[in-house]
Structure 1
Amino acid sequence: MSWDWEKLKEQQRKRDGLPPQMDEFVKKFGEFKVPGAPLLILVILLVLIGSSMFYTIRTSEVGVVQRFGKFVRTTQPGLHFKLPAGIETVKRVNVRRVMTEEFTGSVTGYATANSNITLMLTGDLNVALVPWIVQYRIKDPYHYLFKVRNVDVLLRDMSEASMRLVVGDRSIDEVISKRNEIAVESQELLQKEMDQAETGIEIVTIEMKKTDVPAPVQPSLNEVNQATQEKEQTIYQAKEEYNKAIPAARGEADRTIKAAEGYALDRINRAKGDAARFMAVYEEYVKAKDVTRRRLYLEALKELLPKLENKYIVDADQKNLLPLLNLGKQDGGIK
C-alpha cells in the first residue's frame, strides 16, 4: 500500500493550525501569472518615483532639503521639485507656530525626581518660588535642525539659568513686586544665549506667574513685611515733620536776612548822606570861614535853646556882677 506523504502532511498541518511553509507560498506565488505584470510593475514604480519628486510647503512652513542626509537648501511655501526619494528628503519646519515651555513645578531628569525648578535664592538670601512660561518659535530652520542636538533640553536649561541669574541679583520684595522687569531682563538674557548657541530659536515672550515664598517661611516674611511697613510709616512721618519745619525755618531765615540787608542799606545810605552834608558844609567853610562858623553857631543855638527851660543872659562886658540869689525862684527874673 502506497502512502501519499504530502497529502498526509497537509492534513496534519490543518489539524494543528500551522501556517503553510514559506517555500510553498513562494512556489504558488511564482505559479501565479498576470498578463502584462512587468509593465504594470514598471508603471507603478515610475508613478511612485514621480510622486516623490514633487512636494508642497504650506504658508506657515519652511522646507529643509537634504541630499543623502546633508543639508542642501531651504524652500519657501509653494510647490517644489526635488530628486527622487532615497536621494533627497524634505523636512517641513513650522516657523510661525508659537511653542510653550512651562516652568511651574517639579521636573525629572535632574539631581532628584522631586527637584523644584521654581525654588530660587534671591539676592538678599531669601528663598522664593518663581514660576514662569517661555514662548518661542523657530526663526532659522537650518540652525534649529543641524546646529544643536536636543534644542528643547538646551532651551530649558538656559531658561532656568537665565531666570536664576536675574532673580539672584534682586531682593525678595523686588522678585514679588517687579515681575515684569524680571521677565524682560531674563528674556533678553535668554535670547542672547540662544543666539550665541546658534539654536535658531526666537524668544517671543517670558510670562511670570504669581511669585511667592515657600510655606515654611511665610510667617517670617509676613513679619518682615510688617516691620518694613512700620519703617516706611516712620520715615513718612519724619518727612512730613521735616517738610513742615524746614520751610518755616527757611522763611524765618529769609526774613532775617532781608531785614539785615535793609538795615545795612539804611545805615549805608545815612552814612553817605551825612558824609555828603559834611562835605557840602566843609566846602562852604573853606570859601567863607567866619560866615560859616557864625552860621553853624547860630544853627546850633537855634536847635539847643528851645530845649532849655530858663535862660539867663549876662552881658559879657559887665565887670561888677553882684551875686544873684534864688534866680530860678523869682517870677520876675530876667529871661
Structure 2
Amino acid sequence: MESSPRVVDGPQKPGPGDFWRGLWSALGGRLPLVIAALVALVGVTTSYVQVEPDEVGVILRLGRFIGTVEPGPHFRIPFGVDRITKVPVQRQLKAEFGFRTEHLDGRTTYQPEKPELVRESLMLTGDLNVAVVEWIVQYKIKDPYQYLFKVKNVEAMLRDISEASMRAVVGDHSVNEVLTTGRQRVATEAKALLQGLADRYETGVDIQQVVLQDVNPPDPVKPSFNEVNQAFQEKERAINEAYADLNREIPRARGEAEETLRAAEGYAIERVNRARGEADRFVRIHEEYRKAPDVTRRRMYLETLAEVLQRTRQKVVVDESHKGVTPMLWMNGAGAPPAAGAAAQVKGQP
C-alpha cells in the first residue's frame, strides 16, 4: 500500500542555507568586490597613526628598525608590515627609591613600609654607620632606539644602577655628611655616577636630577643621633656667638687704642709747643732784662701782682699813709675787712 505525499499548510521556517543563498542572490555575484572594498577600508583605517607632541614614533618594518618620525599624523603600511612605537622623549619620568607615592582623592599619600622598600633605603656610610636614604631619580629618554632595543627592561636596569650608584656614593661619606652638610654633594656625585653607568649600558636615558627626599638614622638610634645633632648645633651657635663678640670687641678696642694714641700724640705736641713757647718767652725776657734790669724787674713784679690780684676776691689795704683809696662799705660782716686801727696794729706787729 503506497503512502500518499504529506501536504503541510502555512509558511515554512527558512534554513541556514537559505540566508546565504538569498545574500548571494542579492549581491548578484559581486561578493569579491565587496570583500576587496572591506579590505581596502580596513587598510586605510589601520594605516593612519597620530604621534603626540611629547613623543616620537619608532618605525619597525617587518620587525626591523628603519627610522623615527616626528610628532604629527603619519601613514604606515597596514596589515602588520609597519609598526610605529611611540616613545615619550619630552616627558620627565621619575623613579622613587625607599618609598612609593600614591594619589588618593587628590591628596598625596605613601605606601606603608614593605621589606623591599626598607631594603632599598638602608645603606652603610663610610664611617660604618647605617643611614636610611630615600631619593628620587628624574630622567628623560634621549635615544629611543637604545631605549627600546639595547636593554630588555630599561626601568629595572635603571633602578639597579641607581641603587648601586647611591650606595657607592654614600659609602664614601660619613654619616654626618649624609645627614646634614653633605646632602647636596652626595646627590651631585650620585647623578654623575648614574649618568655614566646609564651611558655605558646604552639605556638611552638622560638623568635630569637626583634628589635626596629624606635621610634619617634608623629608628632604634634616632634619639641618640638627635642628641648628637643638637650638641653640634649648640657648638656651632657658641662658635658663632664667640666670632660675633670677637668681631665686635676687636674693632672697638682698636678704635679706643687709636684714640688713645692720637690723644697722646696731641698732648705731646701741645706740651712741646708750650715748652718751646715758654723757653722762647724766657729768652726774650732775659734779653730785655740784660738791657734794663731795674725796669724789667719792676715790670715783671707789676705784671705778676696784677695777675695774682685778678684771681683774689677780697683785697685789703693796710697802709694808713696811702692816699687816694676809696673807702668801701661791706654789707656782710663775715667778709668785711678789718678796721683801720686793727689794720695798723696788724702792720705794726713783728
Instruction: Give the TM-score range, shorter chain.
Output: 0.5 to 0.7
Q: Does 1:66 align with 2:69?
A: no
- Give 1:92 shift: 1.6
Q: Does 1:214 align with 2:218?
A: yes
Residue equivalent to 2:267: 263
Opposite residue 126 of structure 1, the aligned amino acid is N
Residue equivalent to 2:109: none
Contact 2:162 2:194 in 1 (8 A): no
Q: Does 1:103 align with 2:87?
A: no
- Give 1:253 shift: 1.7
Contact 1:158 1:193 in 2 (8 A): no
Contact 2:165 2:194 in 1 (8 A): no
Contact 2:161 2:198 in 1 (8 A): no
Q: Does 1:138 align with 2:141?
A: yes
> In the TM superposition, what whole-angstrom CA distance separates every residue of 1:104-157 from its partner, at most 9, and x where no partner exists?
169xxxxx9797222234455532111122233434423422344432233223
- Give 1:254 shift: 2.6
Correspondences of 1:193-232 after superposition (within 5 Å) = 193=196, 196-197=199-200, 199-203=203-207, 205-232=209-236
Opposite residue 250 of structure 1, the aligned amino acid is R
Residue equivalent to 1:94: 88
Once the two structures are aligned, what percentage of the paired residues are identical?
43
Contact 1:65 1:71 in 2 (8 A): yes
Q: 1:180 to 1:303 in 2, by over 3 A?
A: same
Determine the C-alpha separation between the residues in 1 that align with 2:265 and 2:134.
67
Opposite residue 123 of structure 2, the aligned amino acid is M
Residue equivalent to 1:30: none
Residue equivalent to 2:291: 294
Q: Structure 2: 5+ residue runs without aligned partners?
A: 1-23, 101-114, 306-347
Q: Does 1:160 align with 2:154?
A: no
Determine the C-alpha separation between the residues in 2 that align with 1:192 and 1:276.
90
Q: Does 1:56 align with 2:50?
A: yes
Correspondences of 1:2-21 after superposition (within 5 Å) = none
Larger CA deviation: 43-52 vs 58-67: 43-52
Larger CA deviation: 135-144 vs 72-81: 135-144
Determine the C-alpha separation between the residues in 1 that align with 2:135 and 2:262.
63
Opposite residue 51 of structure 2, the aligned amino acid is I
Equivalent position SS for 2:49: strand
Determine the C-alpha separation between the residues in 2 that align with 1:227 and 1:130.
23
Residue equivalent to 1:324: none
Residue equivalent to 2:342: none
Opposite residue 90 of structure 1, the aligned amino acid is I
Aligned residue among 122, 126, 129 for 1:126: 129
Residue equivalent to 1:189: 192
Larger CA deviation: 291-300 vs 248-257: 291-300
Q: 1:300 to 1:116 in 2, by over 3 A?
A: farther
Aligned residues: 266
Determine the C-alpha separation between the residues in 1 that align with 2:198 and 2:277.
85
- Give 1:241 shift: 5.5
Q: Does 1:235 align with 2:239?
A: yes
- Give 1:50 shift: 4.8
Equivalent position SS for 2:120: coil
Contact 1:65 1:74 in 2 (8 A): yes
- Give 1:213 shift: 0.5
Determine the C-alpha separation between the residues in 2 that align with 1:296 and 1:75.
126
Q: 1:125 to 1:301 in 2, by over 3 A?
A: farther
TM-score between both structures, scaled by the size of structure 2: 0.55
Contact 1:166 1:185 in 2 (8 A): no
Equivalent position SS for 2:119: coil
Opposite residue 154 of structure 1, the aligned amino acid is M
Contact 2:161 2:194 in 1 (8 A): no
Q: 1:66 to 1:114 in 2, by over 3 A?
A: closer
Residue equivalent to 1:175: 178
Larger CA deviation: 291-300 vs 115-124: 291-300
Q: Structure 1: 5+ residue runs without aligned partners?
A: 1-33, 107-111, 286-290, 308-330
- Give 1:64 shift: 0.8
